[in-house]
Amino acid sequence: MAFTYYYTVRFQDTDAAGVVYFANVLKICHEAYEVSLATSGINLKSFFTNPSVAFPVVHANVDFLRPMYCGDNLVISLLPEKIGLDKFEITYEITVDEVMVAKAITRHVCIDVSSKNKQELPNYMNNWLETNHRDAEGAERRRSREEVM
């Protein structure tokens, strides 16, 4: 089963027009990413606090398909993919009532924290990517079968 994160839009997430402020979509996606790491057994405190390696976001984008409002129950599906020895990308599909309302992407590169040089992804991240990608492939196959029917 693909990693899925549930989030209820709060008033603080919205802008003056009453819809989710664009930057907050990436905040919500990053929260889903953090929860997926913790769920797979990665210790978030050591992951984010004085690590020897880091995974900074080097690219991010969001496509807004429909507005999201305070009180909406979002379902965020993470679809990670390894795109090199030292980088990965996560696609986030955000739905409300089974309708896709946004799609986001974050691209991350693995670096040695002290030298700031790129390095190969460590085993724990490869394991996280493999587990979630395998699950994502199953979800994509199910979705394509549903479209054919």
- Residue positions annotated with a catalytic role: 15
Angle at 51 between CA 105 and CA 111, to 5 degrees: 55
Q: Tokens for 107, please give them.
A: 């691209």
Instruction: Report the candidate in 64, 59, 89, 85 with the shortest Cα–Cα distance to residue 74.
Output: 64
Element (H, E) at 63: strand 57-64
